[in-house]
Structure 1
Amino acid sequence: MRDRITAFLVLLPSLLAIGIFVYGFIGQNLWVSLTDWGKDPAQALALRPELRFVGLENYRELFTGFVDVRFRQSVVNLIFFTLFFMAGSLGLGLLLALAVDRAPKGEGFFRTVFLFPMALSFVVTGTIWRWMLQPQGGVNVLPTLFGLPPLSFPWLATREQVLVFDWNHLPFYTALAVALVLLYVAHAAYREGERRRFLWALFSAGVLLLWAFTLGRGLKLLPYPETHGFSLALVGVILAAIWQMAGYTMALYLAGLRGIPVEVLEAARVDGASEWQLFRRVIFPMLAPITLSAMIVLGHIALKIFDLIFAMAGLDYAPTDVPAIYMYLLAFRGNQFAKGAAIGILLLLLVAVVVIPYLASQLRKEVRR
């Protein structure tokens, strides 16, 4: 009992600090997002502003308001950036790990080279890649070294979009994406023999699919069509982010590859497994926990990305906007603190959706052990 009291007293200052400076400020930010702070310019920077409770009005305006079209494009940019950044970092990291795992000459040198970008800050990375992606120089003039004409892609300066869709279809696509995730959860639960989780995930996915193809298709967020898509100006930003984080995933995968028992691989070869079957049936399944951990970290980085885009494209270039950039512009340039706080809460929820299920699954595994 005395040890428990001592431990509690030792932890108490940290608990109080976290409660006040983390959860207390999150609560204050949530309250601000439910007010009209910033709507009246005279009250925005007042010493004691008179705030009026408006509920979810700021959130409604962000998703359906006429003046916040830039926020909606920033959300689309964030979705595409997250998907391509995670896929590129995982894919390139796995390829580098497979190459280094074969113990080539100079393995230590190559491992250091691949890991070096991770030691840089995103600001340094963004500055370097901004120089490299100048339309009249950098990578565009590389083909001239081999007698070929220079490239003409404008990189960060382009305003072209692909994969364009109507914002009114967002509920339908969101329901489909969540249903696919739930189906994957159901498949994993079925393989692990967890009947209750399997039935819950399968039922939830079925309800979402039914809603998506009935009511979801007719749901309109705006009274007019509003198109958004993948801005090609983000291609350079994605390449820079992958360049920096591929070494991190390489290190994770390399540790995983070298942690696979040699006996398991030899047994699979003796049973007649080809190299592709060896990867598909043995190596990749054993790397699945590492892939999940890497996805959580990369997803967390992508959802709160700010400094890389700030360094590469600045704050005022809409084609490369993400919600964190738009939040900064609204809160600290436009003095619309309530709407900026609402974006902060939305980002917090996105990060929580990614992190909390992972932490819950890890905790469940620890309890089983």
Structure 2
Amino acid sequence: MSRAKTWLPGLVLISPSIILIAIFVYGLIGQNIWTSLNASTRRVVVGGEIVERPQHAGGIGNYGELLSTSDYQHALWNLLVLTVVFLLGTMFFGLLWAVLLEKGVNGEGVFRSVYLFPMAVSFIAAGVVWRWLLSPQEGEQAVGLNQLFQMVGLDGLQSSWWSADSRWNMAAMAMPAIWQLSGYVMALFLAGFRGISEDQREAARIDGATDRQIYRHVLFPQLSPIALSALIIIGHMSMKMFDLIYAIAGPNSYVAAVPATLMWTQMFNQGDKVMAAVNATILLTIVAVVVVPYLVYTNRTERERSS
């Protein structure tokens, strides 16, 4: 049988998917990039007449124009703070819970379900609840966490949370995201622990290693691929986060703005599709810089294992 007859039936079967992906993924990405390079004008009223004035010069200069604005720099800084706190929080609690469950506890299935349950809740639904928990109102009008602190006599812990006039206010916005996805990271690490042979632990104990040394020198080094995968997955989710911030702060909040929410404002409030396309292309590039090297590394590792 010729090679053409071997792969041709498979190609025919997947060709609809290839065509749809080419049109609705890569085709639309290309259209977005093209839009981001367009020149545009805006209508203004001069002397009672509507005239066209240049708005964006077009070309690569559109990117420099957006990057130089204070609003976008503010959104990028918020994204950086959100991503760093989100990553640290989910990795810490995910690993902590995985270690506790890996040691063996009564009712492990119950604890595992409790930790994983938040992941089943949509960001919008969780955001509605966390909007109340992170309410900035203090004193007699306090609700949510601020009211709880007031009831237990810890008034000093009351905060404006995400709406605070601070460069670090987005650390509070990361709290609901950490609550929601720490269980997912826990599941990844727990699967990694369970995949390590018990013989390796017994051999280490025979050599006189303590439990702490076993975790540090035997178990944790073997979890590095899982940790890398968790970092990439959680990191790219943080970079394109929109729905949680939309539910808590609204789409037009300046203090809690990130590139994804700013894109909404540019497109639907300002009617500036060119800057929205520039924003989308930059965000896509940031995600690609993180994800593509990981995919290349994973593909190379799989090839080395199979060879």
Per the normalisation by structure 1, the TM-score is 0.74
Residues 60, 149 of structure 1: CA spacing in aligned structure 2 closer, same or farther, 3 A cutoff?
A: closer
Kindly provide the amino acid, as one letter, of the partner of residue 128 in structure 2: T
Q: Aligned pair 1:297/2:300, yes or no?
A: no
Residue 278 of structure 2 corresponds to: 342
Deviation of 1:152 after TM superposition, in Å, equals: 2.5
Q: Aligned pair 1:311/2:233, yes or no?
A: no
> How far apart in 2 are the matches of 1:52 and 1:92?
46
Residues 27, 9 of structure 1: CA spacing in aligned structure 2 closer, same or farther, 3 A cutoff?
A: same
1:32 and 1:341 in contact (8 A); partners too = yes
Residue 22 of structure 2 corresponds to: 19
> How far apart in 2 are the matches of 1:13 and 1:101?
44
Deviation of 1:102 after TM superposition, in Å, equals: 2.0
Residues 52, 122 of structure 1: CA spacing in aligned structure 2 closer, same or farther, 3 A cutoff?
A: closer
SS at match of 1:318: coil
Aligned ranges for residues 54-93 of structure 1 at < 5 Å? 54-64=58-68, 68-93=69-94
Q: Which runs of 5+ in 1 are unaligned?
A: 43-49, 162-230
> How far apart in 2 are the matches of 1:71 and 1:318?
10
Q: Aligned pair 1:138/2:138, yes or no?
A: no
1:140 and 1:150 in contact (8 A); partners too = no
2:251 and 2:261 in contact (8 A); partners too = yes
Greater RCO, CA 8 A, separation 6+:
1
1:35 and 1:51 in contact (8 A); partners too = no
Residues 144, 73 of structure 1: CA spacing in aligned structure 2 closer, same or farther, 3 A cutoff?
A: closer
Residues 242, 100 of structure 1: CA spacing in aligned structure 2 closer, same or farther, 3 A cutoff?
A: same
> How far apart in 1 are the matches of 2:76 and 2:153?
41
Residue 207 of structure 2 corresponds to: 271
Residue 12 of structure 2 corresponds to: 9
**Deviation digits for residues 329-356 of structure 1 (CA, Å, limit 9, x no counterpart):** 1112111111110110111111111111
1:118 and 1:244 in contact (8 A); partners too = yes
Q: Tell me which moved more, 131-140 or 52-61.
A: 52-61
Residues 13, 160 of structure 1: CA spacing in aligned structure 2 closer, same or farther, 3 A cutoff?
A: same
Aligned ranges for residues 176-215 of structure 1 at < 5 Å? none
Q: Aligned pair 1:40/2:42, yes or no?
A: yes
SS at match of 1:260: coil
Residues 145, 103 of structure 1: CA spacing in aligned structure 2 closer, same or farther, 3 A cutoff?
A: farther
SS at match of 2:255: helix
Residue 206 of structure 1 corresponds to: none
> How far apart in 2 are the matches of 1:90 and 1:101?
16
Deviation of 1:127 after TM superposition, in Å, equals: 0.8
Deviation of 1:280 after TM superposition, in Å, equals: 1.6
Deviation of 1:87 after TM superposition, in Å, equals: 1.1
Match of 1:329 among 265, 271, 277: 265
Deviation of 1:156 after TM superposition, in Å, equals: 2.7
Q: Aligned pair 1:157/2:157, yes or no?
A: no
Match of 1:240 among 149, 173, 176: 176
2:74 and 2:257 in contact (8 A); partners too = yes
1:141 and 1:151 in contact (8 A); partners too = no
Residues 52, 329 of structure 1: CA spacing in aligned structure 2 closer, same or farther, 3 A cutoff?
A: closer
Residues 277, 326 of structure 1: CA spacing in aligned structure 2 closer, same or farther, 3 A cutoff?
A: same
Residue 103 of structure 1 corresponds to: 104
> How far apart in 2 are the matches of 1:52 and 1:81?
30
> How far apart in 1 are the matches of 2:101 and 2:73?
42
SS at match of 1:320: coil
Q: Aligned pair 1:252/2:258, yes or no?
A: no
Cα RMSD (Å)? 1.9
> How far apart in 2 are the matches of 1:364 and 1:271?
35
Deviation of 1:146 after TM superposition, in Å, equals: 3.9
> How far apart in 1 are the matches of 2:131 and 2:82?
17
1:86 and 1:295 in contact (8 A); partners too = yes
Kindly provide the amino acid, as one letter, of the partner of residue 250 in structure 2: G
Q: Which runs of 5+ in 2 are unaligned?
A: 45-53
> How far apart in 2 are the matches of 1:315 and 1:341?
17
Residue 51 of structure 2 corresponds to: none
> How far apart in 2 are the matches of 1:106 and 1:252?
19
Per the normalisation by structure 2, the TM-score is 0.89
Residue 184 of structure 1 corresponds to: none
SS at match of 2:39: coil
Count of equivalent residues: 288
